[in-house]
Amino acid sequence: MDILTFNELPQGGFAGLRERQFVINGQLLGPYKKLGAQKRVGNFVYLADANFMPLGETGMHPHREIDVISVMVSGNVTHAGSLEHGQGLPAGMVQVQRAGGEGFQHNEVNPDEAENQMIQLWVLPDEPGEPAGYKVYTPAKGRRTHIYGGAKNQDDRFYSKTQIDVVNANPGQLIEHSGDFMAYLSKGSGTANGKPVLARTLMRSSTLTFKADEDAQLILIYTDANI
């Protein structure tokens, strides 16, 4: 199993946001090639672990032909823009925005006087020209919740062969996965394939056995060839 940790990456960001970028265009940033830069998991192309500064915001900006998934780990975000203006995202919620061919503009704002933590993931759509869309999820504690990807003829999630699950694991909970994946441990700690891992660690392998040592959040990215 290949591992990349938060402290190995340079600090970046813009406006009121500070972030470390684990995946860019299906490759790891600069010299960080530990996870097989020549390979990507489906159409998954970007992962950043971000902290908004107190009362910080990104500023209004556009997206087109990209699906933007935001996982709130701690704190809050207020969403503004052309999709679901005014939606609040407290810790534990997940926001999924499809830009499609129509595109959207948005600004994400930290309404609090303390830093928050948000994981942002981008996935290229399987089919161009889709209408813009917006969905929110609240993954339950102790469960593996499917928040992105699925067949065309369903409304629960946006269509994609790339799949994303969020697991809010209880202490001692076991999570297993078979098949090529990336997984990001956004909070907590545990043991993955026999190796101890701490929060803010990205993993890649062909199988996963993860046991949480404490309350933990694991984000799994993989594909379903049958869709």
> What are the pLDDT digits (tens) for 179-226?
999 999 999 999 999 999 999 999 999 999 999 999 999 999 999 888
pLDDT of residue 84: 81
Instruction: Label residues 111-123 b or e (16+ Cβ within 10 Å = b).
Output: eeeeebbbbbbbb
- Asked if pLDDT for residue 86 goes beyond 80, the answer is no
pLDDT exceeding 70 applies to what percent of the chain?
94
The phi, psi pair for 95, rounded to 5°, reads -115, 130
pLDDT of residue 203: 95
- Closest by Cα among 15, 20, 22 to 46: 22
> What are the pLDDT digits (tens) for 129-142?
999 999 999 999 99
Domains, in order of start, for the chain: 2-223 (2.60.120.10)
Whether 93 and 28 have beta carbons less than 8 Å apart is answered as: no
Q: What distance in Å separates the CA atoms of residue 205 and residue 192, rounded to the nearest whole number?
A: 10
